[in-house]
Chains A and B, each alone.
Chain A
Amino acid sequence: MITFASFPAPPEFDAYLGTKHYEDNDMEVDLNEDDYEPSGRKLTSPGEVLTSSHAFMRGHGTFVENEEVIASVTGTIERVNKLISVRAIRTRYNAEVGDLVVGRITEVQPRRWKVDANSRQDAVLMLSSVNLPGGVQRRKVESDELQMRTFFEEGDLLVAEVQAFFADGAMSLHTRSLKYGKLRNGQLVSIPPVLIRRLKSHFLSLPCGVDLILGLNGYIWISKLTKANEQEGEEGFDAEAVYSSRNDDINEATRAAVSRVTNIIRVLAAHFVPLTDTVLLDAYEWVIEQEGDIKDILSPEVGEALVTAISAQR
């Protein structure tokens, strides 16, 4: 079990770091008291010497030169026991196995699709890691290979899970669950990936008749509510429905709700507020109370007021 040791924070901010354990050890990381940010996190930028490489190990965002650990990105210093790393505040998505991502097909290749998932390389979706029509588990035959475009075409959006990594760091996805697959009836918003916190479930259903998929890669899919009975067990796998590219009829109220949620997410992202279900619900309620037009949410004044309102609630 790994214990997280953060840098000691000024006492009045302890409340935020409830999950972390402090240790009042004297492993000297040469930090001055006035370097601390109010949040208890210390900031650094490239070229700054963090500590000696004898006492500590270098993690991401650092490199070793002349037996010193030096930062290579701008961000917050994080320490886990003897491992020092720097986390850049805004960067591309760094995938981990099991992450839920939303992506867009960029290319169809032999037995695989290339998927743009806001990462440093396009992800790979193998033909063998998708559900195919006509059975739960079956061998992929040549005919499947020939009609790959009937499943996913260039430009199609999909939700998938990170399955593994290739040697060069590219990720491999899979959609072998009825939760995953092609997306339709909605809209995509892209926000910085750091703003999406890991949640128990990344499939949210808002009471306003909107389904939400928070991809950990910063892509968010906002769509019309899918009825529970449409998601059946493995037996009821209906390729027609799963791989359909045609939108259902979406009534005006749903469209309005989708746009409202989209705009709220854009505003929150512009103010760099991390996204969670509770934040979204609070924001949605606030917006409804204001009774403004949907496009007004994007105006700077309303955005400012929205962020103030939701941060005041806690």
Chain B
Amino acid sequence: MSSRVEILNDGGYRSDGRRQYELRDITIDLSPRGTADGSAMITHGLTEVMVDVFGPREAKLRGQTLHDRALLTVEVGIVPFSTGERRKRNRGDKRILELAATIKQTFEPIVQTNLYPRSEISIFVSVLQQDGGLLPASINATTLALLTAGIPMTDYVTAITCGVHSTAPLLDLTTLEENDLPHLTVASLPRTFKVTLVAMETRLHVERVSECMKIAGEAGKVLHQEMKRAVEARTKRLVQAMDMAPRIGGVGGGVDRDVDMDEDNQT
């Protein structure tokens, strides 16, 4: 299995000019959208995923209501123009259902659903562009969307793909690399370094797995920093905006309370 494109050249660079462990650019946008309780848009290089979270709210399907905890539902939509081959996938598509089920399983142990009996938390994932790392991008965006919706979670969930080129592990694969390399997706919790998900669609040598997991865990920490910075910037801005407003019976001061209200991207 060799491709014409060199995955990792002699200088140690990958096809898009990155080093082995270098991640792609991440942009996070947490501006509110429509009636969603929480929403986030994340880009990992050219992969772009948008997630909207609704809830906890009254469960739409009464039959599925759980009496001791909230129901987590995930729906994934992939726009036809998101990938090279223009192909319309409908909602019943096996791959899409699998992706949704994976995201659901990843978040079920993290979200404190027991606080909201008989409710439903709906997660809508929209994939706008795909260039490898679809699952990790969806998971990261879902974490952020749940956070902006104020849904209690025991930790952040950060996910990344790790592939192996002969013996050299690579992080954050593009589509090109994903097609050629055995790879696995790891979702980890930065606080406890526990792993909530390992997904593998290709065969990977046993001896490489532990190395991959270790590097993916390290990458998770980096992602956590980025995500946390974005979330905290948003919270800070909202808190400041609330403080800026005139208080009932209170007096403001001559303090500079100029807040930039633009929902700018945090990189």
A→B interface (CB under 8 Å) = 12-13, 15-16, 18, 37-39, 41, 43, 45-47, 61, 63, 65, 70, 72-76, 88-92, 106, 114, 116, 120-122, 168-170, 190, 194-195, 197, 199, 271-274, 276, 278-279, 282, 304, 307, 310-311, 313-314
Cβ–Cβ < 8 Å partners of B152 in chain A: 46, 61, 63, 72-73, 88
**B-chain residues with CB within 8 Å of residue A15 when the two chains form the complex:** 250-253
By the criterion CB–CB under 8 Å, are A92 and B246 in contact? no
In the docked arrangement, what's the CA distance between A276 and B231, Å? 27
In the bound assembly, the distance between CA atoms of A88 and B119 in angstroms comes to 18
Looking at chain B's contact residues, the main secondary structure is loop
Is A279 in contact with B118, judged by CB distance below 8 angstroms? Answer: no
Task: Give the A-binding residues of B (Cβ under 8 A).
Answer: 32, 35, 37-38, 55-58, 67, 70, 112, 116-119, 147-156, 189-191, 228, 231-232, 235-248, 250-253, 255, 257, 261
CB–CB A272/B236 < 8 A: no
- Known A45-B235, A92-B55; judge A278-B246 contact (CB<8 A): yes
B241→A271 contact, CB < 8 A: yes
How many interface contacts (CB-CB < 8 Å) are there between A and B?
A: 152
- Give the docked Cα–Cα distance between A311 and B258 (Å): 10
Q: By DSSP majority rule, is chain A's interface helix, strand, loop, or mixed?
A: loop
- Smallest Cβ-Cβ distance to A308: which chain B residue: B258
Contact status A41-B239, CB under 8 Å = yes
- State whether A304 touches B232 (Cβ < 8 A): no
Can you sample 8 A-B contacts with CB below 8 Å?
A16-B243, A16-B253, A37-B240, A46-B154, A74-B231, A272-B241, A279-B246, A314-B247
Q: Which of A76, A121, A304 contacts B118 (CB 8 A)?
A: A121
A197: min CB distance to chain B, Å: 7
Residue contact B242 to A46, C-beta cutoff 8 Å: no
Chain A's nearest CB lies how many Å from the CB of B147?
5
Among B149, B244, B251, max chain A CB count under 10 A is at B244
Q: Please tell me if the beta carbons of A92 and B154 are within 8 angstroms of each other in the complex.
A: no
Partner of A75, one of B116, B119, B155, B235: B235
- Residue ID in chain A nearest B237 by CB atoms: A272
Contact (Cβ within 8 A) B232 A45: yes
Cβ of A271 and Cβ of B261 under 8 Å apart?
yes
A120 touches B119 (CB 8 A): yes
Whether B147 pairs with A45 at a CB distance below 8 angstroms is yes
Distance (whole angstroms) from the CB of A147 to the closest CB of chain B: 25
User: What separation, in Å, do the CA atoms of A130 and B217 have in the docked complex?
Assistant: 57
Closest to B148 in A: A90
With a cutoff of 8 Å between Cβ atoms, the chain B residues found around residue A37 in the complex are: 236, 239-240
Closest 3 CB pairs of A and B: A91-B150, A88-B150, A314-B246
Tell me the smallest distance from the CB of B245 to a CB of chain A, in Å. 4
Q: Contact at A197–B240, with CB atoms within 8 Å? A: no
Most chain B C-beta atoms within 10 Å of own C-beta, residue among A37, A47, A74: A74
Identify A273's interface contact among B70, B154, B239, B245, CB under 8 A.
B245
Q: Are B257 and A72 in contact (CB under 8 A)?
A: no
State whether A120 and B56 are in contact (beta carbons under 8 Å apart), knowing that A47-B156, A90-B148, A314-B247 are contacts in the complex. Answer: yes
- Please measure, in the bound complex, the distance between the C-alpha atom of A89 and the C-alpha atom of B53, giving whole angstroms: 15
Flag if A120 contacts B57 (CB, 8 Å). yes
In the complex, are the beta carbons of A76 and B239 less than 8 A apart? yes
Known: A61-B152, A122-B58. 8 other contacts (CB 8 A): A18-B250, A45-B147, A63-B154, A70-B154, A76-B239, A168-B118, A273-B241, A273-B245
> Are A273 and B242 CB-contacts (below 8 A) given A37-B236, A47-B189, A72-B154?
yes
Write out the residue numbers on chain B whose beta carbons fall within 8 Å of the beta carbon of A63. Answer: 112, 152, 154
